Amino acid sequence: MIIVLLGPPGSGKGTQAKRLISEVKWPQLSTGDMLRSAIGAGSQLGKEAKSFMDRGALVPDSVVVQLIADRTRNEDCRAGFVLDGFPRTLPQAEALDQMLATRGRGIDHAVLFDVPDADLLERLTGRRTCAKCGAMYHLQAAQPKKQGICDQCGSALIQREDDRAEVIKKRLEVYHAQTSPLIEYYKKQEKLKTVNATQAPDLVFQAFKKILY
């Protein structure tokens, strides 16, 4: 099964993807995580991507399309995969459909995690991320057992550069201008499913799974 997760930054799609892949054998392909690890590795790609990411702008389509085209050739993607944070523009969605068609495959579901903007600023400014394994926490809503330390791997929790209030505003603008047209795109293809993501994470997960199996 090939699943696209849609939703504004802070809608919880990354968290839900992580919960799903703990139950199924499909990998989670997060272009944000791939780009952050390129930055961490100090590669040329990482250096180029960082300047866009730090100001909340999108990395050029050609870069992320290539990342996904390469990654999905891996053996672990044969049974399916979960796309988290890709596609984010119409040209990316079209490139994805074309790429999958040439491989005799296609998207099964595009799942929208729906949250009003008013809730997102608080969710994102309070978000803390494990610098090593990417696990996510929240200063109020999902505290780690030990302050500032990841429950899963014991590494330090950080605030992502782009989770600062000024950058978040920009990321939300970018979402509405460039990513939200994908809702209509997948609606037309009759693949769009919507989950009310303002509910507690367990309820969101139940609703999400009901769509898939």
* Active site residues per annotation: 13, 88, 127, 160, 171
As a whole number of angstroms, the distance between CA 196 and CA 114 comes to 5
Which residue is associated with the tokens 């090939």? 2
Residue 59 contacts ligand AMP per CB under 6 A:
yes
- Using rule CB under 6 A, residue 7 touches ligand AMP: no
| Residue 9 binding ligand AMP, by CB under 6 A | yes
Give yes or no for residue 53 binding ligand AMP (CB under 6 A). Answer: yes
Determine, following the binding rule CB under 6 A, whether residue 112 of this chain makes contact with ligand AMP.
no
Distance CA 139, CA 153 (A): 18
Q: Which is nearer to ligand AMP, 57 or 139 (CB)?
A: 57
- Give the dihedral sign, CA 52/9/79/110: negative
Q: Name the residue whose CB lies closest to ligand AMP.
A: 32
Is 128 one of the binding residues for ligand AMP (CB under 6 A)?
A: no
Between 12 and 146, name the residue whose CB sits nearer to ligand AMP: 12
With CB under 6 A, what is the number of residues at the site for ligand AMP?
Answer: 18
When asked if residue 134 is in the footprint of ligand AMP (CB under 6 A), the reply is no
Residue 162 binds ligand AMP (CB under 6 A): yes
The span of 80-88, 112-120, 126-134, 149-157 binding ligand AMP (CB under 6 A) equals: 80-88
**Non-local CB neighbours of 132 within 8 Å, separated by 6+ positions:** 150, 153, 155
Alpha-helical runs (H) found in the chain: 13-21, 31-41, 44-54, 61-71, 90-102, 117-125, 165-174, 181-188, 201-212
Give the interface with ligand AMP as residue ranges (CB under 6 A): 9, 31-32, 35, 52-53, 56-59, 64, 85-88, 92, 162, 171
